[in-house]
Structure 1
Amino acid sequence: MKNPAVRVAVAYLVSAVVGVVIIASFVGALHHPVPHGVPLAVVGPDAARLEQSAGGAVDARPYADAAGARAAVLRREVEAAYLAGEGRLLVASAGGDTAAPHFTALMQRAAGRQLAVEDVRPLAEGDSSGVSGMFYVLGLLLTALATTVLTMRMQPMMHRGLRLAVLALGAVTGGLALTWVVGGLLGALTGAPLGLLAASSAVIFLVSVAVNGLMRRFGPRGVIAAAVLFIPIGLPASGGPFGAAFIEPWYAALGYVLPTRSALELVRSVVYFDGAALAVPLTVLGLWAVLGLVLMALPPRPMPRPAAPAAPAVPVAGAAPGAH
């Protein structure tokens, strides 16, 4: 494209497409959170009736007693618990949007009665809106992307083992810095600083390994693809501060296979739930790292060789100018 007007038009078109993707993803997923099959522990005989009355908004699961239902909420097996005999609704605002007034109102309509709401695991005082975790994960992902790109740019031919060691060092350094800022400096995600440090370093390292493999195999396009998948698509698909059960199911399903949601769940579980339910997020993040290792082990794609310049025409001796 040698025409400057065409280049400018293409640049504007690409900019508009990027903006549309970001707005459609974030606003489309998060502007109107609605419950879809929220896992709900029910103590009492009317679990099936409650699920039917809620119109698919909850996935009612019977539990024998109130203690078991409360433990299930704290173990992150369910999002909330309804104690029919006591007329109580147990929620955990640290895990998502179950403490929001619209969910409480929905549960009261489904139960046909007023419910006493108890928040068994509230958000920290420094994170009363619940958005700190989402933006913290954004910082972790950006750190992982930056660590990978800088390492590859500075030492493109580094041995694989040494590269992993450097990425691990970068992950610990980034984890220390981000943990100190969000906990010590801002007081937003407090209560488990060592656990948050370990989770942060693990996220940065595992995502860095994945992006490293994509960059080694596909070049800058691999990094761009990872950035788009993990941030403007992955963050909204995680459910953000609301939780995956409060966005469209097809988008939530996409979030389950991306590292962003797993990173957010890992941070929440460590900070608020004493490290409960870590197996799934660590497995997803680990599989992305395995993908990176596989791509790193493959031979790099050969770079296209520049075309040889055409040899200048040599005039034939004795030929008259313009003769054919």
Structure 2
Amino acid sequence: MATRAQDPRPRPPAPTRLLRDAVTPRAALVMFGVLLLQLGFALSYMGAFHDPRPHGLRVAVVAPPAVLPQVVGRLDALPGDPVDASPAADEAQARQLLLDRDTDAAALIDPARDQDTLLVASAAGTSVSDTAARIAQAIEQTQGRQVAVQDVRPPAKGDSRGLSSFYLVLSWTIGGYLAASALNMVSGSPRPTPARIGVRLAAMLPYAFVSGIGGALIVGPLLSCLPGAFWELTGIGTLVVLASGVVGVAMQRLLGTIGLGLTIVLFTILGNPSSGGVYPAALLPPFWRAIGQALPPGAGTTVVRNTVYFDGAATAGAVWVLVAWAVGGVLVAVAASFLLPARSGPATAPVPAPTAAPDAG
């Protein structure tokens, strides 16, 4: 009896087997981690930006001694504490407080006239200047008075909304931890020994310096967003990228792929909306207001903005924050490389040792 010829074509795998082959448990776990990052991104940004309200907006007040205490008290007593008012001796001192970043706005009160003056420095962020102007106008209208707004330090022409500092630091921060991730994936990632960790940390320094130069070129000669202070921006960029990069190396040495996710949480999901780049601390909710300047994006944005527009005023603390992250990242990475066992990479079949050919004969 003749038998039916077998079909030489391979049978398609069963649906369950196809699913297991296409989406392994490890892939599903990574997808779940990405989902958490995605939701965390939305929660953090929307939580910080969905309802900006002023709180503790610093306002220096210049007024005749007879009315100065009353004006300061009235501003401090506004519902919701939007203003933190303090007296200033005269207009010159008020202007200097603005340029030294010791106040967000200055109110010049003249009871002899029906118009007062509000001094702002919108280069520090147009949102805070606009908010101060709205508060002043609302108060003056209730008293039948007017307010004239003077901008003593506007942003550069190519930085119309004062956001270039934020986006520059954002690019540096992301570039730093992505470079660390690339080193982890490509440069001997199966066994991160102390020697390899040392090489990765050392490799971050030239990368950070080139990143700093590149960023300074883009915002300076190329686009004129932040003109001037080229070498200062180069140094700041080097420090920001180095801090982000070495922390990325350290976190991935400690936790592998999860470490990259935690770095993204720290620097992008939490650090960017709290940085003061889009809305300053006085307009952010308490949580974001509290953490902003303790993270590299916030510290970096402050250093860049105050260096370019305010001659480096009020930057020392932010610089030390960046230095602390950079030094801390190096120490953690080195300590982890010595104290934690090296992770083994994928097993490979051993290569058999060559054997001597048998004698002829």
1:292 and 2:322 correspond:
no
Residue equivalent to 1:107: 136
Residue equivalent to 2:39: 20
Map 1:116-135 to 2 at 5 A.
Answer: 116-135=148-167
Residue equivalent to 1:142: 174
| CA deviation after TM superposition for structure 1 residue 54, in Å | 6.0
| Deviating more after overlay: 291-300 vs 67-76 | 291-300
In structure 1, what is the Cα distance between the partners aligned to 2:59 and 2:36? 39
Residue equivalent to 2:237: 200
| CA deviation after TM superposition for structure 1 residue 263, in Å | 0.9
Query: Could you give the per-residue CA deviations for residues 139-167 of structure 1, whole angstroms, max 9, x where no partner exists?
Result: 00112113323344426544676554432
Map 1:24-35 to 2 at 5 A.
Answer: 24-35=43-54
CA RMSD in angstroms, aligned pairs only:
2.8
Residue equivalent to 2:289: 252
Residue equivalent to 2:128: 98
User: Are the counterparts in 2 of residues 29 and 239 from structure 1 also a CA contact under 8 Å?
Assistant: no
- CA spacing shift, 1:47–1:201, aligned 2, 3 Å: same
In structure 1, what is the Cα distance between the partners aligned to 2:198 and 2:232? 26
User: Are the counterparts in 2 of residues 218 and 301 from structure 1 also a CA contact under 8 Å?
Assistant: no
- CA spacing shift, 1:14–1:170, aligned 2, 3 Å: closer
In structure 2, what is the Cα distance between the partners aligned to 1:263 and 1:90? 26
Map 1:1-324 to 2 at 5 A.
Answer: 4=20, 14-44=33-63, 45=68, 46-53=71-78, 55-85=80-110, 87-96=116-125, 97-100=127-130, 102-111=131-140, 112=143, 113-152=145-184, 153-154=186-187, 156-157=192-193, 158=195, 163-298=200-335, 299-303=338-342
| CA deviation after TM superposition for structure 1 residue 282, in Å | 0.9
Task: Write the letter of the residue equivalent to 2:87.
Answer: P
| Deviating more after overlay: 220-229 vs 66-75 | 220-229
- Report the secondary structure of 1:53's partner residue: coil
Task: Write the letter of the residue equivalent to 2:157.
Answer: E
- CA spacing shift, 1:11–1:219, aligned 2, 3 Å: closer
User: Are the counterparts in 2 of residues 42 and 63 from structure 1 also a CA contact under 8 Å?
Assistant: yes
Task: Write the letter of the residue equivalent to 1:108.
Answer: Q
Task: Write the letter of the residue equivalent to 2:340.
Answer: R
In structure 2, what is the Cα distance between the partners aligned to 1:147 and 1:290? 18
| CA deviation after TM superposition for structure 1 residue 10, in Å | 6.2
Q: TM-score if structure 2 supplies the norm length?
A: 0.76
| CA deviation after TM superposition for structure 1 residue 37, in Å | 0.7
User: Are the counterparts in 1 of residues 239 and 323 from structure 2 also a CA contact under 8 Å?
Assistant: no
User: Are the counterparts in 2 of residues 133 and 241 from structure 1 also a CA contact under 8 Å?
Assistant: no
Query: Could you give the per-residue CA deviations for residues 212-268 of structure 1, whole angstroms, max 9, x where no partner exists?
Result: 222223333222211121012211112332211111122210223221110111111
In structure 1, what is the Cα distance between the partners aligned to 2:294 and 2:219? 27
| CA deviation after TM superposition for structure 1 residue 75, in Å | 0.8
Percent identity, aligned pairs only?
35
Task: Write the letter of the residue equivalent to 2:224.
Answer: G
- CA spacing shift, 1:19–1:281, aligned 2, 3 Å: same
Task: Write the letter of the residue equivalent to 1:98.
Answer: V
Residue equivalent to 1:312: none
Task: Write the letter of the residue equivalent to 1:194.
Answer: W
In structure 1, what is the Cα distance between the partners aligned to 2:333 and 2:33? 30
| CA deviation after TM superposition for structure 1 residue 182, in Å | 2.3
- CA spacing shift, 1:176–1:12, aligned 2, 3 Å: closer
In structure 2, what is the Cα distance between the partners aligned to 1:227 and 1:55? 34
In structure 1, what is the Cα distance between the partners aligned to 2:83 and 2:90? 19
User: Are the counterparts in 2 of residues 92 and 120 from structure 1 also a CA contact under 8 Å?
Assistant: yes
In structure 2, what is the Cα distance between the partners aligned to 1:82 and 1:249? 26
Task: Write the letter of the residue equivalent to 1:189.
Answer: L
| CA deviation after TM superposition for structure 1 residue 275, in Å | 1.1
| CA deviation after TM superposition for structure 1 residue 33, in Å | 2.3
